[in-house]
Structure 1
């Protein structure tokens, strides 16, 4: 009985730690995204409103965004900020899968994994359309 109580306390402590990690992931993701977006906005203002691309165009591929960011093109830098913002909840889903696994809650591991798969499929479909 005492061993189960010890395991229960250890599990509760680990779950509290995982919840703290999830909270930090969300905080850090939003802060990083905001800083990158602000940097892109500053670059845009320095360039006099020129985003580094012809009017009506912006980078849409990962390679184009990376190349534009390396060249410090404001629109590309802001796209990286948006990507960070989008990836923040996705990372939270990944950590949630781990948390449910540690709780031995297999049903929620499967449900959350399906949510992650749907998110990945939506990224691919959204990119190709």
Structure 2
């Protein structure tokens, strides 16, 4: 039984590593695409001082291939990567039945979500 838990822990650690690597590479690719679009077009795709800040407006701008919005999506993906790591860590601690770290990591996730909500409405 103990060997099974050790193997599951190792598997989860590998998954966490993959999430971090893939997240950073995808975010970097999106940011580089937005930067290339900006350099090619010579503009962010919005009038001066009229950049979107709400997620829906950023997504609409990215769908319309506006360079500034594409850059913002890349930055959002970069921020989301460690948040996903926290979520997977909660699962890992839960599987290990390490209740203290499960609760601590859950508290970290709640704080992260709270900070995002405050940033959105603030």
- Report the Cα distance in structure 1 between the residues aligned to 2:97 and 2:7, rounded to whole angstroms: 15
- Report the Cα distance in structure 2 between the residues aligned to 1:77 and 1:28, rounded to whole angstroms: 18
Tell me if 1:64 matches 2:57: yes
Tell me if 1:96 matches 2:89: yes
RMSD: 0.7
Tell me the TM-score normalised to structure 2 length.
0.97
Deviation at 1:58, TM superposition (A): 1.6
The aligned length equals 122
- Report the Cα distance in structure 1 between the residues aligned to 2:113 and 2:5, rounded to whole angstroms: 30
State the partner residue of 1:123: 116
State the partner residue of 2:24: 30
Deviation at 1:46, TM superposition (A): 1.2
Q: Structure 1: 5+ residue runs without aligned partners?
A: 1-6
State the partner residue of 1:51: 44
Larger radius of gyration, structure 1 or 2? 1
- Report the Cα distance in structure 1 between the residues aligned to 2:50 and 2:75, rounded to whole angstroms: 17
State the partner residue of 1:110: 103
Tell me the TM-score normalised to structure 1 length.
0.92
The CA deviation string for residues 22-58 of structure 1, in whole angstroms up to 9 with x for no partner, is: 000000000000000000011101112x101112232
